[in-house]
Amino acid sequence: MPRSDLPFGSEFSPAQIELPFLLSLAHEHGADWKIFEDAVRDRYFSGHETSDYNKAKLANNTKLSLRAYSLIGGKDVTLTKTGEALYELRNNASALYEAFARHILRNCQGMNFVQCVLDMEAAGEGIDLNKLRHWLKERGISVPRGGKHMSTMRLWLEKAGVFISEYRVDQSRLDKILGIHAEEYEALATFTTEQRAYLKTLGNMGGAGPYASNDIEKLAAATYGVAFNEKNLPKQILYPLRDAGYVELERGTKEKGRGAKPFLVKASEKLNADVIVPLIKQLEKQAQAELRPLLRKNLDQIRKDLKSEGRHTRGLALEALAFNLMRLVDLSYVATRLRGSATGGAEVDLIFESARLVFSRWQIQCKNTSRVSLDDVAKEVGLTHLLKSNVVVMISTGKIGREARRYANTVMSNSNLCIIMVDGKDLDRIESAPAAIVDVFARESQHAMSIKKLDF
């Protein structure tokens, strides 16, 4: 079975089965999966025009889906703790479907799924199953081609009112069922690995505290294998978590002959471990959670942000610009070497890859300056030996200097590198018509071909 981060959902949609019946059946026959499957087959699949073997397979799929959604466990069909809780609500339809939706959102990658839909909507992207699968893949969430995983999840969430009319999200309903505002999920996505580990540890400790900050740090390091910088713990961990509203800090008192005691850390009311800890674990499924703010912006918004007075805003916009352009040609994001926020929004370096026909690695240098110089190109060319890149893309919101282009031509004529130049005028074209990036890349490819032409 192909790997999937969303639960298996074949023969388990609310259009096919009745959840109260399945929960009651599992409650009654939890120790005998054969009786369970036979009853499911007889109730839902006996009228299908197919063989008895296939009818049994359909019933087995229903059982596997229940297990994938963590409603039954073990080799039999015994209800899990979650399944038992839902069974108790079997006679209250609205409460049952709301509780199941809450479980999906918190524990079954449901919030990643919903947030991806919201990101696509914010970016003005039309939503269908194929596009949604690709956008989930960008986040590191795998869904097999042709599977029912996404459709089944959407239908259960729709049953609770999270989705209305296909992929429209009812934001207030989402917030109510999730237990926090969706904006908080966005904030959690920006936390570092160390901050998340620290917050999970505090949530798992139970009780509000206070606890010594270094005790939480030691437990977090041992539990999650995260290395903390002890000297910078307040600046890197404690202050950001305090500013986000998840912890309260009390400064330790100084003892005679010794340095200051560590901070005392207390969980705030906002840190609801039943909500926050599962959501953090869900975010960690994403391979590139730091991309979330970039995925929601369209090119017009990005170009406006590049002119912002805020350095941090310009930095994020520059990274978003590079990411969005490369996504247009379906390249896979690998890493960000230099963030725009670290350079005051002046430049950003990213790495992408492609496995179409042959493997290629693309090195992207994106500059929010008036001109790209020879030195800028030379620096990227020098890094190709370390990164083993095949393609260098120089993107400028301004102009690309004559000397920079001349140097790029020399490099291409004497190596296997291809250097693509995209300037501010090209960005104007692409902003007006995104498909114009094909013409821009074709122009650059033909230019490289003419330079590399073999003379027999």
HEC letters along the chain = CCCCCCCCCCCCCCCCCCHHHHHHHHHHHCCCHHHHHHHHHHHHHCCCCCCHHHHHHHHHHHHHHHHHCCCEECCCCEECHHHHHHHCCCCCHHHHHHHHHHHHHHHCCHHHHHHHHHHHHHCCCCCCHHHHHHHHHHCCCCCCCCCCHHHHHHHHHHHCCCEECCCEECHHHHHHHHCCCHHHHHHHHCCCHHHHHHHHHHHHHCCCCCEEHHHHHHHHHHHHCCCCCHHHHHHHHHHHHHHCCCEEEECCCECCCCCECCCEEEECCCCCHHHHHHHHHHHCCCCCHHHHHHHCCCHHHHHHHCCCCCHHHHHHHHHHHHHHHHHHCCCEEEEEEECHHHHCCCEEEEEEEECCCCCEEEEEEEECCCEECHHHHHHHHHHHHHHCCCEEEEEECCEECHHHHHHHHHHHHCCCCEEEEECHHHHHHHHHCCCHHHHHHHHHHHHHHHHCCCCC
Residue with the bigger pLDDT between 38 and 314: it is: 38
Cα-Cα end-to-end distance for the chain? 52
- pLDDT class of 253 with cuts at 50, 70, 90: low
- What's the pLDDT score for residue 208? 66
Predicted local distance difference test score (pLDDT) of residue 411? 94
310-341 tens-digit pLDDT: 777 787 788 888 888 887 887 887 877 766 55
The confidence score (pLDDT) of residue 251 equals 82
For the ranges 207-211, 238-242, 301-305, 336-340, the lowest mean pLDDT is seen at: 336-340
Q: Which amino acid is at 30?
A: G
Rg for the chain (alpha carbons), in Å?
27
pLDDT of 231 over the 90 cut: no
Q: What is the mean pLDDT of residues 245-259?
A: 70
* Average confidence (pLDDT) over 155-165: 95
Q: Are 383 and 389 in contact (CB under 8 A)?
A: yes
Residue 291 reports pLDDT greater than 70: no
Contact indicator for 119, 295 with CB cutoff of 8 Å = yes
**Strand 163-164 to 78-79 pairing:** unpaired
Q: Enter the tokens of residue 389.
A: 């890149």
Q: Average per-residue pLDDT in the chain?
A: 86
pLDDT at 407 over 80: yes
Judged by average pLDDT, the poorest of 64-68, 107-111, 319-323, 422-426 is 319-323
Residue where the block lists tokens 């041992």 = 222
pLDDT attached to residue 288: 56
Give me the pLDDT at residue 278, please: 81
Which two tokens mark 277? 């800890």
Nearest-angstrom CA–CA distance, 67 and 38:
17
- Neighbouring residues of 185: CB distance < 8 A, sequence distance ≥ 6: 111, 115, 178, 279, 283
State whether the Cα torsion 119-122-123-126 is positive or negative. positive
Residue 114 structure tokens: 């919903």
Q: Let me know the angle formed at the C-alpha of 394 by 392 and 396, rounded to the nearest 5 degrees.
A: 170
Q: Between 110-122 and 129-138, two packed helices, what is the crossing angle to 10 degrees?
A: 110
Q: What pLDDT does residue 302 have?
A: 83
User: What tens digit of pLDDT does each residue of 337-396 get?
Assistant: 766 555 565 677 888 888 877 899 999 998 888 999 999 999 999 988 888 999 999 999
Spatial CA neighbour of 163 closest among 223, 207, 97, 85: 97
Tell me the C-alpha to C-alpha distance, in Å, between residue 419 and each of 395, 402, 407. 11, 14, 10
The Cα-based distances of 117 to 111, 154, 162 in angstroms read: 10, 10, 12
- Give the pTM: 0.68
The CA–CA distances, whole Å, from 360 to 354, 384, 391 equal: 5, 12, 7
What's at 280, amino acid-wise?
Answer: I
Backbone angles phi and psi of 352, in degrees to 5: -125, 160
Read off the pLDDT of residues 102-143 as tens digits, 9 standing for 90 and up: 999 999 999 989 988 988 888 778 899 988 998 888 777 889
Instruction: Please state whether beta strands 399-400 and 371-372 pair in parallel, antiparallel, or not at all (unpaired).
Output: parallel
Give pLDDT, residue 343: 57
pLDDT at site 300: 81
How sure is the predictor about 257, in pLDDT bands with cuts at 50, 70 and 90? very low
Task: Give tens-digit pLDDT for 9-33.
Answer: 999 999 999 999 999 999 999 889 9
* Whole-number Å distance between alpha carbons of 236 and 195: 8
Percent of the chain topping pLDDT 90: 46
Q: What is the pLDDT of residue 189?
A: 77
